[in-house]
Amino acid sequence: MQQNEAVPTDKAYALAQDQEDSLSHFRERFHFPEALKAKDSDEDVLYFCGNSLGLQPKSVKTALENELQKWSSFGVEGHFEEPLPWYSYHEAFKESVAKIAGALPHEVVVMNTLTVNLHLMMVSFYRPTPERYKIIIEKNAFPSDQYAVASQAKFHGFDPKDAVIEYTPREGEHTSRIEDLEAILAEQGDKVALILLGGVNFYTGQVFDLKRVTELGHEAGALVGFDLAHAAGNIELKLHDWQTDFAVWCSYKYLNSGPGGVACSFVHDKHANAPELPRFAGWWGNDPSTRFEMADTFYPQKGAAGWQLSNAPIMTMAPLRASLDIFDEATMPALRQKSVKLTGYLQALLDQIPGDHFEILTPREPSARGCQLSLRIKTASKKLQEQLAEKGIVCDVRDDVIRVAPTPLYNSFLDVWRFCQILQDIVS
């Protein structure tokens, strides 16, 4: 639907949209939390929290049981037992993750957790000098990223108050303008070593122009990396074509790998075969052909896999493998197409709620947002989250801001319609 287009507010319209949705059958492949249903209701919980933790695919149980069975049956020999031998388990993700990241298969690897990977990437790609040492990060970035960049600057002997530049929205605005990043680089570009932004800001839901950000950073002589925790599985990415230097992301949000699930990293092909690039090394990043020779010298394998430290955590990877099978079938272009329509429907219904009870912080342009809308409730009480939960709604509430994320893999137009009906009752 078009921006600012009024849509019918009746239930029949939502049902008709679901009937036409070619992806609607994927909903049946996920568990909706039974314990969070509204009391005395047979309706599925309204789960709009995929931006914090995705729902569990029903295939996860079998995926885990298969690995447990392999362990019990083969012990250590499970490392070489088909299908999916543990020794090369991480390689099974390359094609699927590359599609989500817009990357070449050897540019991505599944390993560790998000902030661990961010630090590992910064070892290689934040190499400050006395003249060029500053890091640009967005205002209101996820705290873990703020901690990481500040600690890296401090580790290298710089004062984070000087070394870290916040890319900040203008006064009275909620989201950042690309012109203001251009202005920062025009003034301090020769001092900037790294730009690190979230692909989608976790708080406002703003999608940054990652292609343009990369171009601006490289023009200034800086390297560019992204935290894609809220972008992977949400928006279409083209990291290889954009020439992004590196990226990291978790997999437990839109990629549905479960709490604390294993993370992913991207290293651009231009850095793929650079053994001289500083890095923290571990034996699983070593050339597989010589890994078991237990040699003293580290020879990193080509590509992102050369940044691995340890062998694959199979039990946290198995749920991700189950989820990525669904993504392979659904495809990111189709999911993004539905997401634009589904989130547009949410915005259109919110616009038609009478009164001045909330404002939408997220950009209204579909290209500048993913599936999340952040609502600042002007008439909110301290019991808002409790009231939503009582009605069987699960979404993230931070003070007076509700982050609502209709996820195209498992949310429906009827879900959105029901949410808006309930929200209208609460805020009124």
HSE, CB side, 13 Å, CA atoms: give it for residue 95: 5
> How many whole angstroms separate alpha carbon 165 and alpha carbon 153?
11
pLDDT reported for residue 148: 98
pLDDT at residue number 4:
52
Q: How far apart are CA 328 and CA 100, in angstroms?
A: 9
Which residues in the chain land under pLDDT 70? 1-5, 380-382
Which domains does the chain show, CATH number per domain? Answer: 11-48+331-427 (3.90.1150.10), 64-328 (3.40.640.10)
Question: How many CB atoms are closer than 10 A to CB 324?
Answer: 24
The model carries a pTM of 0.96
- The pLDDT of residue 82 is 95
Name the maximum alpha-carbon separation found in the chain: 71
C-alpha distances in Å from residue 52, one per residue of 60, 403, 422: 18, 10, 22
Contact 71, 78 (CB under 8 A): yes
Q: Please write the tens of the pLDDT for every residue from 129-168.
A: 999 999 999 999 999 999 999 999 999 999 999 999 999 9
What is the per-residue pLDDT for 291?
A: 82
143 vs 158: CA distance, rounded Å: 19
Amino acid at 231: A
Prior bond of 83 cis (ω within 30°): yes
